[in-house]
Structure 1
Amino acid sequence: MIRKVWGKKRIDVNENSNSKYYGWYIVLAASIITLLTVGFRLGVGPFVKPVIHDLGMSRTEFSLIVAVSALVYGLGMPLAGILLKRYSTRLVLIAGVIMVDVSLVWTIYARGIISFLLSFGILLSLGLSFLSPVALTPIVSNWFVRQRGKALFYLSTGSMAGIAIMSPLETFLIESLGWQQTLFMFAGLFVCIVIPCALFVMRDEVPEGADMKKGEIDEGIKVNKLVNLPEITWRDAVNTRVYWQIVIGLFACGFSMNLLGSHAVPMLIDHHFEPMTASFGIGMIGIVAIFSTLFLGSIADRYSRKNILFWIYFVRGLGFLGLVLVVNPWQLYLVAAIGGMVWAGSTAMSSAILSDLYGVKLLGLLYGWAYFGHQIGGAIGTFLGGWGYETLGTHFFAFGLTTVILLVASAVSYLLPARRTVTNPHPLN
């Protein structure tokens, strides 16, 4: 019998009961939120040509604004981590949706580059960072110990579904209604999805032992053969090599994902694919990733996390090279399907490794700053995608460079240690 507390009321939970463990409802709600937020943020590609046409921007200027937005998105995550530690997941999500809706309405009425930068590039990105997987990973990690890898993989399913759905949906809506009306519809969608999830599903109070079975609570648990080590400070964590190995991998992840979201659809259109064919090809990556995520989630707690991370980066790197070389739809769909098999999971595995090595208490702050590295990569990848095409006349520069960076990340991930080593730890406050 496990006891948990909601406010002053104590509720008994029997792990042998047939009722569904409440943590899975949190995973479901968090996945739906990330479907909307990640899908919208990475689905900026269909907006590129109509926005630069209406606002009189060059592709490089638009890419620079998206690059700035990636940095702001990254900077907002440590702030979200601090607020999560001080307040609650519910408050952070509500603050995020308010900022997102204000920024979307502002963007609709933007009439120049500066106004578009402030609304779409800065305020929107800050709001989305409060609704990002980084803001939702701590609550999921708190609710799961024995099945933490599986739960975090399932959380990333929402991101993959967002990639699968958003690009084709946005392309259809923009062609039917225009990009301003599309943004207005998404403003309403954010309110209808995020507010109910925040108010009625998210609970920061966790039952004793979380999802561990009887006996594991008293004996402790070893996750992937990692032993429980004494608590350390965030300064100790950032002084370890393994932390920066995770950051390098997330940099590569951000570089590749933001390049794909910003420039893959325009790149394929430039290579003479029809807009809907290009959008569906990119969407197929997310469709396949939904199912591959379920499989990877089923093995995430049984096999070495670092080896899974290695294969994710390695195959994804080869996929980017194939994507820029495809010349007809069947090749596009084949490359997208192969890439989708490993597209998910880099952030799930990275956050799981961080929580395994440094503990859940530091996860929000450590993952938030590590994800800033993800966004630095995203900013560089987004900018180089537009600059490289306009300056060099080819997309091969940016997409080929992505392949190299991902292969480096795969090697770095393979060299991750099995456990952390901290020298001269700082005293805990």
Structure 2
Amino acid sequence: MSGIRPRWFYGWWVVLTCALGLLLGPIPIVVFSFGVFLKPLAREFHAGRGAVSLALTFTTLALGVGVTLAGRLIDRYGARRVILSANVLVGLILVAAWFCSGRIWHLYLFYLSLGSVGAGLAPVSYCCVVSHWFDQHRGLALGLMLAGLGTGAIVMPSAAQFLIGRIGWRLTYLVAGAVVLAVTVPILGRFLVEKPESMGLWPDGIPPARWASGRPAAHSETSLETGRGMRGTEASRDPAFWVILCAVVLVSAGVQACLVHVAAIFADAGASAGTAALATSLFGAGLLVGRTGSGYLLDRFFAPRVAALIFACTGAGIGLLGIAASQLLAFAAAFFIGIGNGAEVDIMAYLISRYFGLRSFGTIYGFVFGAFGLAGGLGVYVMGASFDATGSYRLMLLVFCLTALLGAVLMLLLGPYRYRAAPVQESGAALDAVAT
């Protein structure tokens, strides 16, 4: 393929392929759709909703822990191998739902297995691939790719609800597994190329002759210098690593808590079921805007300032949700919180690539993403426990508002990039970005 001159830079096909992988991955199919499976599972296993919900807890914990191992496997064996292997296993596990009996521990084992194997299909794997294909346009590419996850959050629950009502929860999971095996795996196997140099291409489709200096900029992370960057142990000793991790954890706890409880917050305020559903949809719309918008901004402005602005808006949205006196303000709050939820994963990937390079990207991002997931799970629990104790969400909404604002302040402590994008000549650079 390296001898063929494509009309469009192949990296954008990689972005589309990765977006499809996220759309048809275990997070939309299992995590985002769990709510519509809750009642059928409770009836099937003769268990309360709390006991059934514990299954999803096993999934999220396995994802949070497993993604750190997945990051190490990516750095050692390559993202393509991890992604394809994990997709095959996830597809088989989904098909195996047909064999779940009425024993609750079978359900727990099923969801635990999905979380453990599905960790290889978390955004970490796909972000690693896209980060190798793009340098100048890395933020936009990551944002567009991660929009696949946001689309899955909107599409998959409705699709699952439609199928469950007609064929039941077991066959719904079987169909999902068949789609993964028959559609996702072949498409990824055909179009997913891990690094541009394997096709004789360069990041962004810009060859060295177009770089302003005729060579990579100092400390740039390009496919010419795949060995450049910090190891995981080096990054863990760098203050920037802990600043990024702490900021992400502080914001994630509140955002994920609001994502789960937003419908209940509106319902408790006297809103109808339709209004509560609209609030959830606005959250999803904000997520898509956050994914694509943050990616565009990250390529054009200093990323920590972009992150600080988005985290501050997120904090303001959480606080507004706690004190909103009208539905219009509450809707605006849900939208702004959704933007924060959409931007977080993109921001994490971009910052890690610029401050620690791509040498151990999977390991470093896997650790931060694992902390991100665990913090979100803890935030959901604390929000619910606080409501049980006080009868109101207001206290934790104000607390999470402050933690998000603190996360924004932490972003401003980050210094210059260590691995900045290579400068290019203005003339023809834009054309080379899409046609090589």
Distance 1:233 1:131, change over 3 A: closer
Measured after TM superposition, the shift of residue 81 of structure 1 is: 2.1
> 2:233 maps to which residue?
235
Q: Structure 2 matches for 1:90-105, cutoff 5 A?
A: 90-105=80-95
- Of residues 65, 71, 76, the one that matches 1:75 is 65
Distance 1:303 1:83, change over 3 A: same
Measured in 2, the distance between the counterparts of 1:87 and 1:74 equals 20
Measured in 2, the distance between the counterparts of 1:167 and 1:68 equals 20
Distance 1:419 1:91, change over 3 A: closer
Preserved CA contact (<8 Å) 1:247 1:373:
yes
Residue 246 (1) aligns with residue 244 (2):
yes
> 1:218 maps to which residue?
214
Structure 1's unaligned 5+ residue stretches are 1-5, 422-429
Measured after TM superposition, the shift of residue 123 of structure 1 is: 0.8
Measured after TM superposition, the shift of residue 140 of structure 1 is: 0.5
Q: Which amino acid aligns with 1:11?
A: G
- Any idea what the Cα deviations from partners look like across 1:245-282, whole Å, max 9, x if unmatched? 11123323542454345444455456555555434432
- Of residues 191, 197, 209, the one that matches 2:202 is 209
- Of residues 14, 21, 28, the one that matches 1:39 is 28
Measured in 2, the distance between the counterparts of 1:391 and 1:50 equals 29
Measured in 2, the distance between the counterparts of 1:167 and 1:187 equals 16
Q: TM-score under structure 1 normalisation?
A: 0.81
Q: Which amino acid aligns with 1:349?
A: I
- Of residues 132, 136, 142, the one that matches 1:152 is 142
Preserved CA contact (<8 Å) 1:35 1:162:
yes
> 2:364 maps to which residue?
366
Q: Which amino acid aligns with 1:215?
A: R
Measured in 2, the distance between the counterparts of 1:251 and 1:356 equals 19
- Any idea what the Cα deviations from partners look like across 1:189-229, whole Å, max 9, x if unmatched? 333442123211111242353223533183324799xxx99
What RMSD over aligned residues (CA atoms) do the two structures have, in Å? Answer: 3.4
Measured after TM superposition, the shift of residue 300 of structure 1 is: 1.6
> 2:427 maps to which residue?
none
Distance 1:412 1:362, change over 3 A: same
> 1:11 maps to which residue?
3
> 1:199 maps to which residue?
189
Q: Structure 2 matches for 1:228-377, cutoff 5 A?
A: 231-269=229-267, 273-275=271-273, 277-323=275-321, 333-377=331-375
Q: Greater shift after overlay, 406-415 or 276-285?
A: 276-285
Q: TM-score under structure 2 normalisation?
A: 0.80
Measured in 1, the distance between the counterparts of 2:167 and 2:330 equals 28
Measured in 2, the distance between the counterparts of 1:53 and 1:272 equals 29
> 1:141 maps to which residue?
131
Q: Which amino acid aligns with 1:119?
A: F
- Of residues 8, 12, 32, the one that matches 1:20 is 8
Measured after TM superposition, the shift of residue 141 of structure 1 is: 0.6
More helix by share: 2
Measured after TM superposition, the shift of residue 73 of structure 1 is: 0.3
- Any idea what the Cα deviations from partners look like across 1:141-172, whole Å, max 9, x if unmatched? 11111211221122221222223333444455
> 1:114 maps to which residue?
105
Measured in 2, the distance between the counterparts of 1:270 and 1:77 equals 36
Distance 1:332 1:185, change over 3 A: farther
Measured after TM superposition, the shift of residue 293 of structure 1 is: 3.6
Measured in 2, the distance between the counterparts of 1:190 and 1:62 equals 25
Distance 1:271 1:188, change over 3 A: farther
Measured after TM superposition, the shift of residue 331 of structure 1 is: 5.3
Q: Which amino acid aligns with 2:210?
A: G
- What SS does structure 1 have at the residue aligned with 2:121? coil
Preserved CA contact (<8 Å) 2:95 2:175:
no
Q: Greater shift after overlay, 408-417 or 262-271?
A: 262-271
Identity %: 20
Measured after TM superposition, the shift of residue 132 of structure 1 is: 1.5
Q: Which amino acid aligns with 1:22?
A: Y
Distance 1:270 1:98, change over 3 A: farther
